Amino acid sequence: MFAVAAMIGGLAALPVSIAPPLAEVLPRAAAFCAAAAETDSWRNPDGTDTYVSDGWAPKLPSGPSRTNAKSAKAFAGMATFSDMPVLIQRAVATGRSHSAFKPSAAIRFSAASGSAWAIVYSGTACDLYVTGSVEPVAPLAEALLIKFADEGWRTVGSTDTTPFARRVMIHSAPKPDKPRFATRASIQWLGTAVAKPDGIQLEINYLAADLADIPPTPPAKP
């Protein structure tokens, strides 16, 4: 009986995995999405869930091998876009980047309240969507803008209409062959005290290119 009690006590002492607050998750997801757009590459961050585009298949070396079989089995069990919430599926299908790039994967950053979804594309673009938060996202958006400014982003457009507030920011990242290369972030969020967790509460559209090639800032979504 003592051994059983000790075992139960030991189990009770095990740490419980608790998702971090959205205030911690959002900056991490935003940094991931910005880097994915700027570099046209990404790696699955720790502690996230990956959803691959429907019909996507890994490119494996030809010929049978234990590694190929193991990789194929792992990829076969991966979640796809069809497994995502309908709200996120609809956001991807109607997103600004979707008209120019093919989405390749979605990375879900889960928080204690809500999630941040990073949609990476086969190109220099990434979209970020926040939904499910029971708390208003306006304070988080304002903190994120301050962080962006500290990292060298500059504001080139601003709109504070109800219910959405909007900022357009540019971050220069010159390359040897592209001295005017930069990333544009179009940020839109619910600027009210209402949470509306069943909708898109915050959205960031990242596009990286030579400044001369970046199209005019698209109009805000209704």
Please give the angle made by the CA atoms of 185, 106 and 200, to the nearest 5 degrees. Answer: 60
Cα–Cα distance list, 152 to 170, 176, 183, 186 (Å): 9, 19, 11, 15
Q: Which residues contact 108 (CB under 8 A, 6 or more apart)?
A: 48, 49, 50, 51, 115, 116, 117
Tell me the Ramachandran region of residue 177: left when phi exceeds 0, alpha when psi lies from -120 to 50, beta otherwise.
alpha
**Model confidence over 145-180: pLDDT tens digits?**
999 999 999 999 998 877 889 999 999 988 888 889
pTM: 0.81
**Model confidence over 41-53: pLDDT tens digits?**
999 999 999 999 8
Q: Which residues contact 145 (CB under 8 A, 6 or more apart)?
A: 167, 169, 187
- pLDDT: is 13 or 106 the higher one? 106
* pLDDT higher than 50, residue 8: no
Lowest-pLDDT choice from 68-72, 102-106, 123-127, 179-183 = 68-72
* pLDDT higher than 90, residue 27: yes
* pLDDT higher than 70, residue 75: no
Domains of the chain, by residue range, sit at: 20-210
Q: Mean pLDDT, the chain, as a whole number?
A: 83
β-pairing, 79-80 with 164-172?
unpaired
**Model confidence over 119-135: pLDDT tens digits?**
999 999 999 999 999 99
